[in-house]
């Protein structure tokens, strides 16, 4: 039974109870939202991990992407990345490995961490075809569905599947005047395959089969946005919105089939378009949880895309996004290092918190108020404790070399809090 | 003659011409906006620097604060900070020195860089009184106005003056239920002085005298927000807005007196209140350029306040803020290092660009389009050239150790741009 199936029947599962407690809302509310599809619990029946809820009224969650590439493949480093991501607050991790040993990697990462794990199964299929026949265009349908089925059996909790990039869209895109065409890696595998083989996208054509597999293992589908924009001027165009419309119909079908489903979103979006993007996703996809990559709000900051995406992510979270995929400083330049992963997670946690504050979530405000009181009381330990990166905050404080607890090196005796306190005494 | 006086008479000064060219708008438009007070040119008649326009329809500008404190005083380091700030794109620098040698510092910093320089003269007066009589409460009116006059003569281009924090407000604030009371350093000097001496704020009471000094040297006033909130839960409250209302009346008076004037704003603001804060400032202050500090949108990220403020700054810029005061990673923890200054400036430049893109400014979009084309064409040198930090972007690229120009270590052969290009050929 999937969580959705249970919820529809009014059954309150252990996972729902745990989430109700964690989010401090009633079990009835959680159950109702799951039954309506506005909240999902990515948790494969074959895997025993911490349960997270993603969606309506819940705190904004953060995902960290890790995994090898064809150029960099070191399992220990990738596991270190996964662990540091969780340590700094990632609520989920996606293994996006595309190196030759990707199956072995996935197995080990599934063991290493205790949060929901997502994948993009088309990578396994594409890499297999590439290594076997020299091109992702040589993927067979069996390659694709075997990858999905095996990964579901292994316990993968959520899967990005680019079901919406169908033949019609691919041909339209080929002739579009986009600056950057298609930039989703999984989307490009299918785009290329469709053009080469002149066949329909198997993930679109055999969507029912995908639903069967997902239902059997309660895999949450994350409908990929293969046509997300790759630069600001391609944002919110016909291709992107047409794919979203298709995804809306697929969301409906998944829900009818008792399969949990999220929708993925852009990408590169000018700041003034972010809120509208969230709004149209929510209306077209009838409140399905929205999982956004960034969005990045300027392309001029390679090396700082954790910041460009924290801006977009915060506004997205405040406007309806439920799940933020982090972006690291290495984005557009190379595979992230362990430290890049850490910085990416922290930036996304900041964005999520800023969004949750804007939404008026009690838990987010409670922490803000604690921090304000700690500052007013010069309670440095409490400030560190409440920080997204305690160690860094502490290092900065120690750098001051000031023994007086009631000041820092910024203002010294002229500290406004200190002076104002003296006046109140 | 001030720029405002000239503009009112229809005289197009050299500075106006330079700005019209830099911003690619007509000289007539610039002149009209200056005459109406919606654009200012902070440029003291005694100083020969590059001219920047701040305000309506112009690109969002960035300020970097530097300067010693009573605990850390090293002129070489502060000059290095000022220089690196300008190197990374700061359009203005404020010298906020409060160390014993602050006069010497100001003199050297005025020589070291070629962008508008701002100060908070109440610091000089307060520090003088503290060193002479043990407390900022012992400032005399002469201390205050001598500081303003001397700094104007030295060539300071813009000055933060907390003219709005009058006796009425101070007593109200003393009994308010704010969590953090008052956190503006200059504001606190005056708050404390008013409570101790039971006198009206000299900057409020003798505003006409300030206008005379400012007019003589064409110093742009930056009306300080002494009651800006120090934490999210204090944001946009009665104290903050009442001060803003007072500043609105002072803006009107300055303009009538041909003195250029900006208004300063918060601070710590929940993301959902940022746009409204910009809007009410613009209406109350009749379109005066708005200079915001941050704003910071969560308090949980000490060590990362360049990111929290990039989020707030971007939304602020997109909603009407004209001038962003950077925040460094050291904020709330100590005086920033040279590297902190660099990171703070870059984060603010990102926010400014995101805002300018959202506002649809042609110059901002032109750069975005160039970057998109450079990515599509794998033109790495062009990408570095367009980056806010070329060196960092280049280092990331070099870390890949990949000779093939048409990929990076993130996706290798599975690069979406590469695959999509192959399909178009």
Give the nearest partner residue to B334 out of A329, A371, A397, using CB atoms: A397
What was the pLDDT predicted at B400?
87
Q: Which two tokens stand for residue A240?
A: 């992107």
The secondary element (H helix, E strand) that includes residue B171 is helix B167-174
Chain B interface mutation, best of A354, A360, A364, highest count of B Cβ atoms under 10 Å: A354
Taking the C-alpha atoms of residue A45 and residue B219, their distance in angstroms, rounded to an integer, is 69
Cis link prior to A295 (omega < 30° from 0)? yes
Q: Which residues of A362-391 are buried (b: 16+ CB within 10 A; e: fewer)?
A: eebbebbebbbbbbbebbbeebbebbbbee
Render pLDDT for A35-93 as a digit per residue (tens, 0 to 9): 999 999 999 999 989 889 999 999 999 999 999 999 999 999 999 999 999 999 999 99
Chain B interface mutation, best of A194, A321, A350, A366, highest count of B Cβ atoms under 10 Å: A350
User: Residue B425: is its pLDDT beyond 80?
Assistant: no
Give the nearest partner residue to A368 out of B231, B331, B397, using CB atoms: B231
Give the nearest partner residue to A271 out of B333, B358, B407, using CB atoms: B358
Subunit contact A357:B71, Cβ cutoff 8 A = no
Q: Apex CA A359: angle with CA A357 and CA A360, to 5°?
A: 65
Taking the C-alpha atoms of residue A9 and residue A154, their distance in angstroms, rounded to an integer, is 27
The verdict on B339 touching A (C-beta cutoff 8 Å) is: no
Q: Which residues of B205-230 are buried (b: 16+ CB within 10 A; e: fewer)?
A: ebbeebbebbbebbbbbbbbbbbbbb
Q: What is the mean pLDDT of each run of 10 residues along chain A (425 residues)?
A: 97 97 97 98 95 97 96 96 98 97 96 97 97 96 98 98 97 90 96 97 98 98 97 96 98 98 97 98 98 97 98 98 98 97 98 98 98 97 98 95 90 92 78
Helices (H), A88-184: 102-112, 121-133, 141-154, 167-174
Taking the C-alpha atoms of residue B307 and residue B348, their distance in angstroms, rounded to an integer, is 9
CA dihedral for A364, A366, A368, A371, sign (positive or negative): negative
What was the pLDDT predicted at B174?
83
- Parallel, antiparallel or unpaired: strands B39-40 and A54-55: unpaired
Chain A 278-317, residues with CB within 8 Å of chain B CB atoms = 297-304, 306-308, 310-311, 314-315
Is the separation of the CB atoms in A280 and A263 below 8 Å?
no
Residues of A within 8 A of B126 (CB-CB) are: 414
Question: What was the ipTM of the complex prediction?
Answer: 0.97
Chain A interface mutation, best of B175, B230, B419, highest count of A Cβ atoms under 10 Å: B419
Instruction: List Cβ neighbours of A19 (8 Å cut-off, separation of 6 or more).
Output: A30, A41, A51, A52, A53, A58
For residue B88, give the 3-state DSSP assignment.
coil
Q: Which two tokens stand for residue B150?
A: 């001397």
Taking the C-alpha atoms of residue A359 and residue A363, their distance in angstroms, rounded to an integer, is 11
Q: Which two tokens stand for residue B179?
A: 């969590």
How many Cβ atoms from other residues are within 10 Å of residue A335's Cβ? 25
Nearest Cα neighbor of B194 from B265, B133, B141 is B141
User: Residue B270: is its pLDDT beyond 90?
Assistant: yes
Chain B 51-110, residues with CB within 8 Å of chain A CB atoms = 69-72, 98
Is the separation of the CB atoms in B82 and B42 below 8 Å?
no
Q: Which two tokens stand for residue A261?
A: 């489903």
Give the nearest partner residue to B393 out of A333, A389, A392, using CB atoms: A333
What was the pLDDT predicted at A176?
86
Question: Which residue intervals of chain B bear CATH 3.20.20.540?
Answer: 58-361
Chain B 191-230, residues with CB within 8 Å of chain A CB atoms = 191-192, 195-196, 230
Subunit contact A409:B181, Cβ cutoff 8 A = no
Residues of A within 8 A of B402 (CB-CB) are: 71
Q: Which two tokens stand for residue A370?
A: 């604690």
How many Cβ atoms from other residues are within 10 Å of residue B46's Cβ? 16
Give the nearest partner residue to B70 out of A298, A399, A414, using CB atoms: A414
Taking the C-alpha atoms of residue B142 and residue B128, their distance in angstroms, rounded to an integer, is 11
Instruction: List Cβ neighbours of A290 (8 Å cut-off, separation of 6 or more).
Output: A262, A263, A264, A265, A278, A281, A282, A316, A320, A321, A322, A323
Q: Which two tokens stand for residue B332?
A: 């709330």
Q: Is B89 left (phi over 0), alpha (psi -120 to 50) or beta?
A: left
What was the pLDDT predicted at A421?
85
Render pLDDT for B364-415 as a digit per residue (tens, 0 to 9): 999 999 999 999 999 999 999 999 999 999 999 999 888 898 999 999 999 9
In CATH, what is the architecture of A58-361? Alpha-Beta Barrel (3.20)
β-strand partners of A292: A265, A324
pTM of the model: 0.98
Point out the least confidently predicted range of A264-268, B239-243, B327-331, B406-410: B406-410
Chain A 18-57, residues with CB within 8 Å of chain B CB atoms = none
Taking the C-alpha atoms of residue A366 and residue B193, their distance in angstroms, rounded to an integer, is 34
Residue with tokens 């004037």: B261
Cβ pairs A/B, distance under 8 A: 368
Is the separation of the CB atoms in B271 and A355 below 8 Å?
yes
Taking the C-alpha atoms of residue A371 and residue A385, their distance in angstroms, rounded to an integer, is 9
What was the pLDDT predicted at A425?
67
The verdict on A380 touching B (C-beta cutoff 8 Å) is: no
């Amino acid at each position: 039974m999937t969580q959705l199936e249970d919820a529809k029947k009014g059954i309150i599962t252990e996972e729902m109870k745990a989430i109700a407690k964690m989010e401090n809302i009633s079990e009835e509310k959680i159950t109702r939202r799951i039954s309506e599809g506005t909240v999902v619990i990515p948790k494969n029946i074959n895997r025993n991990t911490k349960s997270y809820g993603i969606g309506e009224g819940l705190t904004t969650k953060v995902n960290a992407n890790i995994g090898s590439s064809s150029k960099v493949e070191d399992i220990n480093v990738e596991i270190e990345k996964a662990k540091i991501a969780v340590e700094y607050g990632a609520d989920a991790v996606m293994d996006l490995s595309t190196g030759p040993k990707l199956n072995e990697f996935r197995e080990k990462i599934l063991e290493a961490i205790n949060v929901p794990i997502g994948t993009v199964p088309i990578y396994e299929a594409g890499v297999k075809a590439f290594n076997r026949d020299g091109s992702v265009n040589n993927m067979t349908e069996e390659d694709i569905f075997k990858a999905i089925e095996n990964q579901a059996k292994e316990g993968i909790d959520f899967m990005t599947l680019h079901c919406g990039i169908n033949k019609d869209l691919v041909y339209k895109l080929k002739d579009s005047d986009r600056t950057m065409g298609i930039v989703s890696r999984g989307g490009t595998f299918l785009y290329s395959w469709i053009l080469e083989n002149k066949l329909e996208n198997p993930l679109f054509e055999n969507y029912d089969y995908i639903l069967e597999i997902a239902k059997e293992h309660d895999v949450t589908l994350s409908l990929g946005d293969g046509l997300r924009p790759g630069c600001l001027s391609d944002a919110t165009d016909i291709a992107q919105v047409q794919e979203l419309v298709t995804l809306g119909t697929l969301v409906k079908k998944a829900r009818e089939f008792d399969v949990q489903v999220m929708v993925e979103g852009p990408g590169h979006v000018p700041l003034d378009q972010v809120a509208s993007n969230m709004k149209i996703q929510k209306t077209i996809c009838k409140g399905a949880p929205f999982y956004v990559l960034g969005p990045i709000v300027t392309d001029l900051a390679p090396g700082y895309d954790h910041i460009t995406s924290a801006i977009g992510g915060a506004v997205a979270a405040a406007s309806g996004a439920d799940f933020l995929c982090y972006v690291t400083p290495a984005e557009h330049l190379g595979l992230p290092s362990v430290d890049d992963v850490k910085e990416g997670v922290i930036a996304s946690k900041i964005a999520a918190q800023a969004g949750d504050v804007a939404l008026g979530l009690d838990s987010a405000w409670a922490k803000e108020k604690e921090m304000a009181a700690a500052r007013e009381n010069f309670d440095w330990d409490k400030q560190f404790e409440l920080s997204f990166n305690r160690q860094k905050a502490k290092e900065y404080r120690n750098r001051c070399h000031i023994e007086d607890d009631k000041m820092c090196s910024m203002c010294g005796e002229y500290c406004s809090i200190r002076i104002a306190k003296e006046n109140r005494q």
